[in-house]
Amino acid sequence: MSRPRIGLTLDVDEAGLAYRLPRAYAEAVAAAGGLPMPLIHQAALAAELLDLCDGLVVTGGAFDLPPELYGEPRRPACGPSRPERTAFELELVRLALARDLPLLGVCGGMQLLAVARGGSLYQDLAADLGLSGHEQPHPKDAPSHPVQVEAGTLLAGLVGTGPLLVNSTHHQAVRAPGRGVFVSAVAPDGVVEAIELPARRFALGVQWHPEAVARHEPRHAAIYAGLVVAATRGAR
């Protein structure tokens, strides 16, 4: 049987001239048995690109979602955005959910999943909640704090329940998860670290980077494995 095709969203360089994808994403998909497929930023082609995929990973990046997407004015602590990428990824997420296509949102991809379901974000954890400790220094792949995984969730079925050490690099976080979205992991300070949609076959968002931290904590590899298994069941 051929490998299920897993679409991976891309970042762009500062000049907007070249696409970029950290190797860890593609390698995690390949190690889990999937075929990584990069997806260019073309919102008008989102449906056709998704037709080629059996699963989807919305990757993270060093930018913020426009707060206008969740009905708030931009405040000074909100960082720069990438409108073209966000518009494309938002269309992909909405289509994937409508098709019940297996979906994994990583870091900013998790935040986009919440916003796509009508949720909202804290624009800056320090400014909004007085919290720090979620933007770790290098090395970025090393775990920096635990999260508590909720029993009975999709995430718990993959990595187990109870504490899980994660790597964390974000200054924004999910405030309201959105319609039909369940919080499946939280940090000790109460910050939402994972969400999922129980009504979908596989729709999971994690605030950390399992593709990078798996070398320190092998349990994280099960997240990509779970996505690939779900995509295999629906593969054409």
Cβ atoms within 10 Å, residue 26: 20
Q: Give helix 23-31 / helix 221-234 axis angle, nearest 10°.
A: 60
Measured distance CA(167)–CA(195) in Å, rounded: 16
pLDDT in the model for residue 12: 93
pLDDT in the model for residue 235: 72
pLDDT in the model for residue 234: 74
Question: Which domains, ranges and CATH numbers included, belong to the chain?
Answer: 5-234 (3.40.50.880)
pLDDT in the model for residue 168: 86
Helix segments in the chain, DSSP class H: 23-31, 46-51, 83-99, 108-116, 125-129, 154-159, 210-213, 221-234
Tell me the residue length of the chain: 236
pLDDT in the model for residue 215: 94
Give the catalytic positions in this structure: 107, 209, 211
pLDDT in the model for residue 58: 98
pLDDT in the model for residue 133: 81
pLDDT in the model for residue 233: 85
Regions in the chain scoring below 50 on pLDDT? none
pLDDT in the model for residue 236: 64
pLDDT in the model for residue 15: 86
Measured distance CA(192)–CA(208) in Å, rounded: 11
Q: Is the dihedral of CA 45, 49, 50, 55 positive or negative?
A: negative
The answer to pTM > 0.95 is: yes
